[in-house]
């Protein structure tokens, strides 16, 4: 899930639970314009970071993984803003179907997330 600084949803991407975050990274920047990309350690990949810098010219704020040979510097003050995604998930949790994943098909589950996000935007 991608959000802007106001905590509003800008992108929802569904993938299999066993897939890594970085496997979905190519989808995130497509059609979006941003100055700063804040993501968790799952997106710490030299190739991904180089692509974002080349395509968007954006500042990258991703905390490096512990096993990285050459750790990058990260602005921890900006990294704290990443909790906007966590806050969004906490606002959706009261919608029981999303928290427990009643829907068996990906299409229905993704539709639930779209409806939940629209509901939160209309509040």
pLDDT tens digits, residue range 79-123? 999 888 888 888 888 877 655 666 678 888 888 888 888 888 887
Q: Where are the domains of the chain?
A: 2-122
**Quick check: 48 pLDDT over 90?**
no
pLDDT for the residue numbered 78: 92
Q: Average pLDDT, stretch 66-91?
A: 88
For residue 3, what is the DSSP state?
Answer: E
Q: Is the pTM of this model over 0.85?
A: no
pLDDT for the residue numbered 29: 62
Q: Can you tell me which residue has the tokens 């968790």?
A: 40
């Amino acid at each position: 899930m991608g959000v802007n600084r106001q905590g509003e949803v800008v992108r929802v991407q569904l993938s299999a639970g066993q897939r890594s975050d970085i496997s979905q990274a190519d989808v995130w920047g497509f059609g979006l314009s941003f100055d700063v990309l804040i993501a968790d350690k799952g997106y710490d990949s030299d190739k991904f970071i180089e692509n974002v810098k080349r395509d968007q010219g954006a500042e990258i704020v991703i905390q490096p993984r512990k096993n990285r040979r050459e750790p990058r510097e990260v602005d921890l003050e900006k990294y704290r803003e990443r909790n906007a995604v966590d806050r969004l998930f906490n606002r959706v949790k009261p919608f029981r179907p999303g928290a427990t994943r009643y829907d068996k098909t990906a299409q229905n589950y993704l539709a639930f997330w779209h409806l939940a996000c629209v509901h939160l935007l209309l509040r």
